[in-house]
Amino acid sequence: MPNNWFRFKQFTIQQAHSAMKVGTDGVLLGAWASVPLPGSRVLDIGTGTGLIALMIAQRTKHVQIDALEMEASSARQAAENFRNSPWDHRLHGIDSSLQEYAPRCNKAYDLIICNPPFFSASYKTPSGPRNLARHDDSLNLEDLFSLSVQLMKKTGTFSLILPLQKESQTMELIKGHHMYPTRITRVRPAPGKAFKRFLIESSFVPGRTGVKQVPYPSKVQEEELCIETGTRHCYSAAFNSLVDPFYL
């Protein structure tokens, strides 16, 4: 059974009432994502306990972070974690789905970040909130892209973590929305194991009508990350370096 709390160096996550507990995927994305400059605005979609929003808050200064969560008990849990953090004044919990929020939102975001539900047509647990958090019935990848690009600045970044089998679909969606990938990190659990996840950032293609010309890398920055060394719970130097600002 997971603990009802998880302590990081600068904040604590209470998670007794959230369907999704602290996990490696969320920690990876929160530590890996490129963060915007002071004065920017970030949207965390499906914040759960508020983990990624809190990690982005720790990594930035003078950046406002909106955190969407449609499941009521998780939204309350995130709000509690925000209140008890050093960055409560910069963290804003929003009890809403992305589908409800996007049409009424009058903000544009410099970074949109999401650890989305990704199970499709697979076995579901008896827990409604956990199914909502894990399965893409409530927010599939197509809707996530189409709604997020409406909310993102033309110079903004879209950052995700997904199962490796969704990489081809993600690339097609990036292309279909006149964006392109700028960073990809494929993640394997241990040496010799298959890749299980990939972290990806994408931005709008410069030159599209109405898009200001800004400098972009000429090619995708591609990397690999191995979580463990091969011995159970013995973590690689690269993984330790990435999460060291957070893990005790």
pLDDT, tens only, 102-150: 999 999 999 999 999 874 455 545 544 544 444 346 799 999 999 999 9
Strands 109-114 and 152-163: parallel
* Phi/psi at 105 (5° precision): -80, 135
Q: Which of 75-84, 132-141, 174-183, 222-231 has the lowest mean pLDDT?
A: 132-141
Identify whether 122 is part of a domain: yes
Q: What is the mean pLDDT of the chain?
A: 89
CATH, residue 211: 3.40.50.150
Contact in structure between 4 and 244 (CB atoms under 8 Å): no
Whole-model pTM: value is 0.89
Tokens of 17: 């009432």
Domain that holds residue 176: 5-243
CA 238 to chain centre: 20
Cα–Cα distance measured from residue 86 to residue 120, given in angstroms and rounded to the nearest whole number: 37
Evaluate whether residue 208 is within a structural domain. Answer: yes
Q: How many CA atoms lie within 13 A of 80 on its CB side?
A: 16
CA 73 to chain centre: 20
Comparing 238 with 207, which gets the higher pLDDT? 238
At 90, is the pLDDT very low, low, confident or very high (cuts 50, 70, 90)?
Answer: very high
Note the pLDDT tens digit of each residue in 26-64. Answer: 999 999 999 999 999 999 999 999 999 999 999 999 999
Maximum C-alpha span of the chain: 52
Q: DSSP H helical segments within 65-200, as ranges? A: 72-83, 98-104, 128-134, 141-151, 167-176
| pLDDT score for 140 | 94
Token pair, residue 97, equals: 């789905």
Pairing of strands 109-114, 91-95: unpaired
- Tell me whether residue 69 is in a domain: yes
In a domain, 79, yes or no: yes
pLDDT on residue 88: 98
Domain annotation covers residue 96: yes
Question: Does residue 248 form part of some domain?
Answer: no
Please give the share of the chain, as a percent, with pLDDT higher than 90. 81
CB under 8 Å to 206, separation ≥6 — which residues? 212, 213, 214, 216
pLDDT, position 37:
96
Give the pair of three-digit tokens for residue 154. Answer: 């033309």
Number of domains in the chain: 1
Contacts of 189 (CB under 8 A, 6+ apart): 196, 226, 227, 228
